[in-house]
Amino acid sequence: MKRFYNSRLLGALAGAAILGGGMAGGASAQEKHKIFLSMSYIGNDWQTESANMVRAMAISPGLIDKVDLQVQVAGPNAQKQIQQINSMVQAGAKAIVIYPISPTALNGAIKNACSKGVAIFTYDGVVTEPCAHQVHVDQKAWGVESAEWLVKQMGGKGKVVMINGVPGTTTDADRTAGAKSVFAKHPEIEVIAEANGMWSQAVGRTELSKIFATKSWDEVDGVWMQVGCYTANSLQIEAGIAESDLRPCAGEASNGGRIQMLPVDAEVDGASGNYRPMGAKRWSAGSANYTGAYALKLAVQKLEGAEVPAEVIVPNPAITNDNIKLCKEGTWKEMSEGCNVFQPSIVPNPGWFASIYSELTPEVGLAAALVGQPE
């Protein structure tokens, strides 16, 4: 498969409803490319934010007169997503941007769409049908690098709790496999509990609460969570553990988790409760919330005759305590200069993801992730 590697990442989440879509102003609908966004599981902040960014891209100055975007949500149901994709083709779709619930179940519908001239672009998750274009980070590398950091923090030994993502998706499978391949190399690392967190802070809290109903934090030396390090730190604080004793956590790019990474004396506007600087030991990387928006941008380029790579792998640099940097206002200029966490006064939801920046998508920034508005 042909691959294309670019040079940057990072981002965030929240706000506006993800259902709906429709036409943006400018030229008439007949002159626009009819493009559908096909979403699967949506029960977390990442999906809401990513959908906001897709919608913002569709009404950005360069695309507003070219795109008629419509959104459909199938939930964690492969058959329903297949039916919706087939209906999109029948409705005259020129392109479909897909968050796939399965790497294989959608292949027949995707192949059928391609055979009718519909451009198919997946984002974050991948499929095995070769006619689809795919935009994503290297999820196995995410799992490997996060686990390697955690093992180093633990001195190569100790007990780990793992909270995975949405079962059936390639994102979850690749991350989990990557992490376990690292843990397997260290015989003194023991995974003592594992659960599916559905990439949700709320579900992560529920699953951790179940685990620690029968275990003590004293039994745990590190936490690996696809989403939920903010919650893990909060639960420890609520259990009376000192900030200096918080277990190292490798996981997502939630804004709350990154605020907790900041030095205790950092000046942060709007910090309160557990949404405040703690100096928490963290490895933090998102899944690039802009990948759906970038997939839409590439789909339009393809419809206009450009050659588009079959696979675009965007890099996913990790944020640690060494390179965490507060965005004072969240402007595009600030993000381009390396800030990677936002003031709680700007982003009140600690579960919102801060992995929104890419030089590939200058059309979408903070307002896009929060409320679906382009730069």
Chain segment 227-242, per-residue pLDDT in tens:
999 999 999 999 999 9
Q: Is residue 334 part of a domain?
A: no
First to last CA, the chain: 33
One-letter amino acid at 289 equals N
Q: Looking at the structure, tell me whether residues 216 and 309 fall in a common domain.
A: no
In tens, the pLDDT along 191-215 reads: 999 999 999 999 999 999 999 999 9
Cα 98 from Cα 133, distance rounded (Å): 10
Q: Looking at the structure, tell me whether residues 247 and 307 fall in a common domain.
A: no
In tens, the pLDDT along 252-286 reads: 999 999 999 999 999 999 999 999 999 999 999 98
Span 23-37, mean pLDDT?
Answer: 66
Spatial CA neighbour of 251 closest among 354, 326, 170: 354
Q: Looking at the structure, tell me whether residues 132 and 168 fall in a common domain.
A: no
What is the reported pLDDT for 249? 98
Q: Is residue 347 part of a domain?
A: no
What is the reported pLDDT for 186? 98
Cα 261 from Cα 282, distance rounded (Å): 6
Q: Looking at the structure, tell me whether residues 217 and 275 fall in a common domain.
A: yes
- 3-state SS of the chain is CCEEECCCCCCCCCCCCCCCEEECCCCCHHHCEEEEEEECCCCCHHHHHHHHHHHHHHCCCCCCCCEEEEEEECCCCHHHHHHHHHHHHHCCCCEEEECCCCCCCCHHHHHHHHHCCCEEEEECCCCCCCCCEEEECCHHHHHHHHHHHHHHHCCCCEEEEEEECCCCCHHHHHHHHHHHHHHCCCCCEEEEEEEECCCCHHHHHHHHHHHCCCCCHHHCCEEEECCCHHHHHHHHHHCCCCHHHCCCEEECCEHHHHHHHCCCCCCCCCCECCECCCCCCEEECCCCCCHHHHHHHHHHHHHCCCCCCCEEECCCCCEECCCCCEECCCCHHHHHCCCCEECCCCCCCCCCECCCCCCCCCCCCHHHHHHCCCC
Number of domains in the chain: 2
Q: Looking at the structure, tell me whether residues 305 and 277 fall in a common domain.
A: no
- Average pLDDT for the chain: 92
Residue 15 pLDDT exceeds 80 = no
Cα 208 from Cα 220, distance rounded (Å): 12
Name 342's bridge partners. Answer: 327
Structure-block tokens of residue 356:
């929104």
Residue 108 pLDDT exceeds 70 = yes
In tens, the pLDDT along 311-343 reads: 999 988 899 999 999 999 999 999 999 999 999
Spatial CA neighbour of 197 closest among 10, 46, 37, 9: 46
Spatial CA neighbour of 78 closest among 107, 114, 35, 50: 107
CATH number at residue 110: 3.40.50.2300
Q: Which phi and psi angles does 359 have, rounded to 5°?
A: -65, -15
Q: Looking at the structure, tell me whether residues 188 and 167 fall in a common domain.
A: yes
Domain boundary among 263, 296, 314: 314
Q: Looking at the structure, tell me whether residues 148 and 236 fall in a common domain.
A: yes
Measured at the CA of 83, the angle between CA 36 and CA 176, to 5 degrees, comes to: 80
Span 279-300, mean pLDDT?
Answer: 97
Span 285-307, mean pLDDT?
Answer: 97
Q: Looking at the structure, tell me whether residues 42 and 144 fall in a common domain.
A: no
Structure-block tokens of residue 149:
């950091």
Query: Residue 77 in contact with residue 84, Cβ under 8 Å?
Result: no
What pLDDT band is residue 28 in, cutting at 50, 70 and 90? very low
Q: Is residue 72 part of a domain?
A: yes
What pLDDT band is residue 30 in, cutting at 50, 70 and 90? low
Structure-block tokens of residue 284:
């933090």
Span 92-98, mean pLDDT?
Answer: 98
- The percentage of residues in the chain with a pLDDT greater than 90, rounded to a whole number, is 89
Residue 2 pLDDT exceeds 90 = no
Residue for token pair 């382009």: 374
What is the reported pLDDT for 71? 97
Q: Is residue 83 part of a domain?
A: yes
Decide which of 64 and 13 is more confident: 64
What is the reported pLDDT for 19? 37
One-letter amino acid at 280 equals A
What is the reported pLDDT for 29? 43
Q: Looking at the structure, tell me whether residues 145 and 277 fall in a common domain.
A: yes
In tens, the pLDDT along 157-187 reads: 999 999 999 999 999 999 999 999 999 999 9
Question: How many other CB atoms are there within 10 angstroms of residue 116's CB atom?
Answer: 9
Cα 15 from Cα 24, distance rounded (Å): 19
Q: Is residue 184 part of a domain?
A: yes
Q: Is residue 58 part of a domain?
A: yes
Span 56-81, mean pLDDT?
Answer: 97
Q: Looking at the structure, tell me whether residues 292 and 263 fall in a common domain.
A: no
Range of the domain at 194: 139-284
Domain boundary among 284, 305, 326: 284
Q: In what order do the strands lie in the sheet with 222-225?
A: 189-196, 158-164, 222-225, 249-251, 282-284, 319-320
Q: Is residue 36 part of a domain?
A: yes
Q: What pTM did the predictor assign?
A: 0.89
Q: Is residue 331 part of a domain?
A: no
Q: Looking at the structure, tell me whether residues 210 and 306 fall in a common domain.
A: no
Q: Looking at the structure, tell me whether residues 21 and 111 fall in a common domain.
A: yes
